[in-house]
Amino acid sequence: LDKEILRSNRAGSYSSLSIIGCNTRKYHGLLVSPIGQFDEEKHVLLSSLDETIVDADKEFNLGVRKYEGENITPKGHKYVRDFEAETIAKTTYRVGGIVLIKEILLVEYEHQVLIKYTLAESQKSIKIRFKPFLAFRNAHALSKSNLYANTKVRNVPNGIVSRMYEGYPELFMQFSKKPEYVHVPDWYYNVEYMKEMDRGYAYKEDLFAPGYFELAMKSGESIIFSAGTKVAATAGLKRKYDSELLKRIPKTSFYHCLVAAAQQFIIRHDRKTEVVAGFPWFGTWGRDTFIALPGLTIAIRDRESFLEVMDTMVKKLSGGLFPNMGSDDDPAFNSVDA
């Protein structure tokens, strides 16, 4: 539970969770994205996705959540056999003679996460159930059950689309093959985030599950789950996943690890290129941008990004000052050294 992984993309979204799949911070989520209507602050859209292996009359839920006390349910961590993050987050589960591999990948310039599932070993075809848990709230806040949430969904190719509240983008949840969707909207109450409790913050949240998907898989088969703010071309999800994977930098040396890390802080949106001050808390800060920019760009021979960031910052200059923080609509010129 203490080991976490965080991956971001050039659109400003990130995906973060503990390596066993249990969210221990309110900032954790499979898809956390900046929302333009809310000053580009990051919002948790898809909190988690439970996978349940259905083998004949037996069910094995691979999800992990903590509730009050020491109540951890489901207990999917029991089935984790391996985790690696050499290029992307990859988890291997074993349930008896069944081996399922899960790989999580953020699309580089879109608010979209792709999850590849491969049934590596199985003597027969099995059914897998997928249940998404939605938050639709600011990453600094917590969600509570309420009567204002939109619990309805629309059907789209190989999936559904949901938007819990006005002002938010729609969240498209789709698969590379057609699943069966069962709409059983429900709230899951008092999910606890241990790291927030340790920090002295509020730590209980209610998450919404609109329903679940089911589909069959045979040994050796791979499927892709997509969650994003735009409808996906489901027939091309596997090609898109493979194409995005090729863009990743293998962490074969310390230098390549630094390059891969540096790229996570440069974001491009609305014809602007900016530096994120840090994950998961911060947005773009003027002081941090100028301190970090040489190391994030020039040191790794990325002159193009350096010039793009400088061009973006110069356009924000006002009265001899750069904004220290804030959105373009409400910049804060409150620091003489920014």
Rg (CA), the chain: 21
Q: Tell me, yes or no, whether 83 and 124 share the same domain.
A: yes
Of 211, 227, 246, which residue constitutes the final position of a domain?
A: 246
User: Within a domain: residue 78?
Assistant: yes
Tens of pLDDT, residue by residue over 293-306, are 999 999 999 999 99
With respect to residue 338, please indicate whether it lies within any of the assigned structural domains.
no
pLDDT number for residue 37: 77
Is residue 93 located within the same domain as residue 215? yes
Cα–Cα–Cα angle for 109, 114, 116, rounded to 5 degrees: 145
Residue 295 within any structural domain of the chain: yes
pLDDT at position 291 = 93
Left (φ > 0), alpha (ψ -120 to 50) or beta: where does 34 sit?
A: beta
- Name the nearest CA neighbour of 175 among 212, 207, 208, 150: 212
270 & 317 share domain: yes
Q: Is 162 exposed, middle or buried (0-12, 13-18, 19+ CB in 10 A)?
A: buried
User: What was the pLDDT predicted at 319?
Assistant: 82
Please check whether residues 210 and 89 belong to one and the same domain: yes
Residue 259 three-state SS: helix
Q: What tens digit of pLDDT does each residue of 217-263 get?
A: 999 999 999 999 999 999 999 999 999 999 998 888 899 989 989 98
Q: Can you read off the two tokens belonging to residue 284?
A: 């773009």
Distance of CA 77 to the CA centre of its chain: 19
* pLDDT reported for residue 338: 58
For residue 100, being part of any structural domain is answered with: yes
Cα separation of 170 and 153, whole Å? Answer: 10
Q: What is the pLDDT of residue 218?
A: 96
Per-residue pLDDT at 111: 97
Domain carrying residue 295 = 254-332
pLDDT, residue 7, reads: 94
**Residue found under tokens 């491009």:** 268
pLDDT in single tens digits along all 338 residues of the chain: 789 999 999 999 999 999 999 999 999 999 999 997 777 789 999 999 999 999 888 999 999 999 998 899 999 999 999 999 888 999 999 999 999 999 999 999 999 999 999 999 999 999 999 999 999 999 999 999 999 999 999 999 999 999 999 999 999 999 999 999 999 999 999 999 999 999 999 999 999 999 999 999 999 999 999 999 999 999 999 999 999 999 998 888 899 989 989 989 999 988 899 999 988 888 888 889 999 999 999 999 999 999 999 999 998 888 888 887 766 666 777 776 65
Do residue 232 and residue 283 come from a single domain?
no
Are residue 141 and residue 220 in the same domain, yes or no?
Answer: yes
Contact between 67 and 73 (Cβ < 8 Å): yes
- What single DSSP character describes residue 321? B
pLDDT of residue 281: 82
Pairing relationship of beta strands 98-106 and 171-175 according to DSSP bridges? unpaired
Q: Of 194, 226, 246, which residue constitutes the final position of a domain?
A: 246
Q: What is the CATH number of the domain that holds 23?
A: 2.70.98
Tokens of 134: 């939605």
| pLDDT attached to residue 274 | 92
pLDDT confidence of residue 329: 64
Cα angle for residues 126, 129, 133 (degrees, 5° grid):
160
